[in-house]
Each structure stands twice: as C-alpha cells, then as structure tokens.
Amino acid sequence: MRLAGPCSEVMDYFFYGTLQDNEVLEPVLGRPVPDSAKDVAELAGYIRVRGQGVTYPVVMPVPDARVVGILVTGIESGEADRLAAFEGPGYDQRTVDVVGKRRGVVAALIFVPNLSVLGASQEPWSLDDWRRRHKSRYLEDVRSWVKAWRSGTT
C-alpha cells in the first residue's frame, strides 16, 4: 500500500474474474480506469473455477497452478469499500504476491471465496467464455447494484 496524499491510502488489487472487464470494473469503482493503472499479472499457487451455481469465478489454492488476471494500481480506500460491498459476504480479502508483466512482483489484494458462504465447482472459468455467454445479463445486475449503492440500499 502507498500513501497518495494526506490521509489518502491507495491499494493495488489483482482481479481474476468479471472485474477484469472494464464494463464491470469502472461502474463498480465509479470512475474510468486508465490503461496505465492496469497490468497483466499472474497469481501463483491458485486455480480459477466457476463458483457453485453462479456465472463468476472463485480461486482455490493448488500448488504449481497459476491464474492470469489484471493488476490494478491506485485503488483508493473509498473505492476499496465499494469493491468489498460489490463482492459481498462470499469473499474475503487477502494480500498476495502477483507478478505483473510490466511491474514485476507486487503485493496486491485479492478476493478469495469464503467457502462457508460460496462454494466452488470443478468447472474451469474463462473470461472469454463468460463474456460470450453471461456478460450481457451480468451487466444488468451491475447496473442494479450501482443504483442501489448510490441510493444507500446495498
């Protein structure tokens, strides 16, 4: 974590699921995310599978496995609160090391499933498949979530 200014903490996050998509990430954060704040990155020691009964993924620890996603830098504390609210009680935050294509090794926050709330299937999950099969419906849910967040009903 870095300090951006007086009382302003900024964080780096690794996203491995739907938040890799700008049409999900930007409304959830409430702002555009410049390409300069994003880096393709790898998380070692995990696999990505579809969550049980849902269209989005979870990561599970598996030695010698790797998950490719995006590292997003410069997330401010209020935005981190929005992310946590969006992810909900099915996920916990954890700090992990990821390897960015441009930035190298970076400590970043990720959302890992709380298995007492959210189960995991054995089905692999891919962003391309999700975009093709589920994105349009999911974006409706994102718009509803943003509206509820803005009205204070989330």
**Mean pLDDT for the stretch of residues 11-24:** 98
Residue 9: pLDDT band with limits 50, 70, 90: confident
Number of alpha helices (DSSP H) and beta strands (DSSP E) in the chain: 4, 7
**Mean pLDDT for the stretch of residues 24-31:** 97
By C-alpha distance, which of 17, 28, 13, 16 is closest to 150?
28
Q: pLDDT tens, 88-132?
A: 998 999 999 999 999 999 999 999 998 878 888 989 999 999 999
Is the confidence at residue 11, as pLDDT, over 50? yes
**What is the separation of C-alpha 144 from the centre of its chain, rounded to a whole number of angstroms?**
18
- Two structure tokens written together for 117: 């709330």
Burial of 104 (0-12, 13-18, 19+ CB in 10 A): exposed
Please give the pLDDT value at position 1: 47
Domains and CATH numbers, the chain: 2-151 (3.10.490.10)
> What's the predicted TM-score (pTM) here?
0.92
Task: Give CA–CA dist 110/21, Å, rounded.
Answer: 16
Please give the pLDDT value at position 3: 41
* DSSP state for residue 153 in the 8-state scheme: -
Average pLDDT value for the chain: 93
